Structure 1
């Protein structure tokens, strides 16, 4: 057989693969044509719960701007791991996204059998919002700020009770961090959900808790609660006189946030387009007035690269909080 023919035969499999890859790429709609069918936005909480008030209006606006339905699918359970897993294990085609918060990182530290790796299996799209939250206290406590709380706890070990909405929750880890750094004895009391914690704090069954600002602002304004400190990188625009943890001498700058992710491998042009559309919506004054401000959300809408870097820092913070909380993977 002539050498030329042999060489052509040897190249044939590679040519077939190249052709197949080109044909596959041509079969995918370019980013400017995306979406060509309905898109699913997974929310890893129960219907009517955390995030629905943000994601459902966002989905409606995306449907209007992109011309295809954006369908919200609630998949609650396992501290958001079930819903997040739907996205992490989904096809990277740009038709499944998930909205979640810091539990995306803490779950990897606290769940032994998590069926996905959030770093490897999720592609960051954008940080949607920062959620406002404060450590608050019953108005009867004899202190008004974090320094006063620490001084009281040192003088009265074991007499302050701190309520949270569950073992391993953000509230739990925040108080354990303060206890560890300040060297104080404060009793952690877990409840099943936010509403029972608020009622327990109002009734002085526990003296303090960490809660979303919107859930307790009425009680702060009425004088039944005090805002003690903001565990956040900066002061809240809703309670600007309340200092942050860093301002009170603690070296942690945690954030309460919700962001958007896709499956790893989702085409970059689709991720970029999704981020750009979401950012436009978050910047719209009407959307801010009707959706974000009433829920005490501060819009972000950063780039995928900026969100990825933010995630790297948040993973370090999550590791610190889990360590000082002495929580073990289960």
Structure 2
């Protein structure tokens, strides 16, 4: 009897133990959905759409890109956090997965617990820029002007709680200036606002704002990064200006946290091959000023842990209080 019981037990373990592996071997057996948590035409579209096409070719299944903005990326990313753990919904996101739990009291999910990191796709340059008419050409001049003219400057961002909004609040609280925050719905209207001088300051990815810097319509003030950009090497960082402030801007991929590990590894492997392909770099990444990362799920997890610590400190210094979503 014990022998028969053990045989049955091991048979059940073997049977159920092979389900994830068998599922991974058959994956993907249908189309995949790649979710962008921003409006169409934004910063992330230009990366994810060509990546989705390459991934479709690699796995021989359609990869359909879907824009689901809202909630400072929480709506789109939530489709993975609260979706099926089968790897058929992939969510692209950035710093929102770190900041949102600190900014909203009633998040319907926990990004740290409910999302599985797949790969960090890219790092990206960004700069705080000013309308050309603003009588300030560097950070010290900007702060002096803002202190002499309280409430006269507007800073445009791509939404409440966005990276740009946090950077502004950090500047306001750390440097004691009064600059108004004007949120917009996406990167494109923010750029149009600064070009029209509706706002005098914005934070924007280098790839989107560089043509307007070259045309003289806006001027770079400072870069919130650890090192200077190779595309704007004459623009100082906050560290250059004497401030310990160097947050990273990045875009990564996530799936539901309960997705079988072999599927996470398969997705990560396929995407990393695309990102590190010299042809993809030349055609897609370099023109948009992206720096390929393409790390493993384990490496991405470690990166997120380090960035989460910095996010807590940034939100603390910014003085932003949590609100209901």
Task: State if a TM-score over 0.5 links the two structures.
Answer: yes
Structure 1: unaligned runs, 5 residues or longer:
none
**Match for residue 168 of structure 1?**
161
Q: CA deviation at 1:118?
A: 0.7
CA positional deviation for 1:100: 1.0
Q: Distance in 2 between matches of 1:95 and 1:120?
A: 19
CA 1:197–1:46: 2 relative to 1, 3 Å: closer
1:243-283 deviations in Å (ceiling 9; x for gaps):
22222222121122110112113233332332222122112
Output the CA distance in 1 between the equivalents of 2:250 and 2:198.
Answer: 29
Alignment of 1:131-146 (within 5 A): 131-146=124-139
The CA deviation at 1:308 is 0.9
SS at match of 1:248: coil
Residue 103 of structure 2 corresponds to: 110
Distance 1:203 1:66, change over 3 A: closer
Aligned to 2:193: 200
| TM-score normalised by L of structure 2 | 0.88
> Structure 1 residue 50: deviation in Å?
4.2
Report deviation, 1:192: 4.1
Deviation at 1:180, TM superposition (A): 1.6
Of 269, 277, 281, 2:270 maps to: 277
- Rg larger for: 1
Q: 2:282 aligns with which of 281, 289, 293?
A: 289
The question of whether the paired residues in 1 share the 8 Å contact of 2:54 and 2:274 is answered with yes
- 2: CA distance between counterparts of 1:119 and 1:33? 28
From 305, 308, 311, the equivalent of 2:304 is 311
Cα distance in 2 for residues equivalent to 1:190 and 1:92: 34
- Aligned counterparts of 2:233 and 2:260: Cα–Cα separation in 1: 41
The one of 301, 309, 328 aligned to 2:322: 328
Deviates more, 1:58-67 or 1:298-307: 58-67
Counterpart for residue 249 of structure 2: 256
Superposed CA RMSD in Å reads 2.4
Q: CA deviation at 1:288?
A: 1.6
Q: Quickly say closer, same or farther: Cα 1:193–1:125, change in 2 above 3 A.
A: closer
Gap change, CA 1:261 and 1:241, over 3 Å in 2: same
Give, in angstroms, the shift of residue 165 of structure 1: 2.8
Determine the C-alpha separation between the residues in 2 that align with 1:45 and 1:200.
18
Equivalent residue, structure 1, for 2:60: 67
* Number of matched pairs: 322
| C-alpha distance in 2 between matches for 1:55 and 1:197 | 21
Aligned-pair CA distance for 1:77: 2.8
Residue aligning to 1:178: 171
Secondary structure at the counterpart of residue 22 of structure 2: coil
Describe how 1:223-238 pairs up with structure 2 within 5 A.
Answer: 223-238=216-231
Relative distance call for 1:57 and 1:186 in structure 2 (3 A) is same
Kept in 2: contact 1:173–1:325 (CA 8 A): no
Is the alpha carbon distance of 1:199 and 1:35 closer, same or farther for their aligned partners in structure 2, counting shifts above 3 Å? closer
Q: Structure 1, residues 211-244: CA drift from partner, whole Å, max 9, x if none?
A: 2223322221111211011112222222121122
Compute the displacement of 1:87 (Å).
Answer: 0.9
SS in 1 for 2:240: helix
Shift of 1:123: 1.0
Partner of 1:97: 90
Check if 1:84 corresponds to 2:77. yes
Deviations 1:277-299 (A, max 9, x none): 21221122221222222222221
Helix, strand or coil for the counterpart of 1:243?
Answer: coil
| Structure 2: 5+ residue stretches without partners | none
Out of 5, 8, 13, the residue aligned to residue 21 of structure 1 is: 13
Cα 1:46–1:190 shift into 2, 3 Å:
closer
Residue of structure 2 in register with 1:56 after alignment: 49
**Distance change in 2, residues 1:31/1:189 (3 Å):** closer
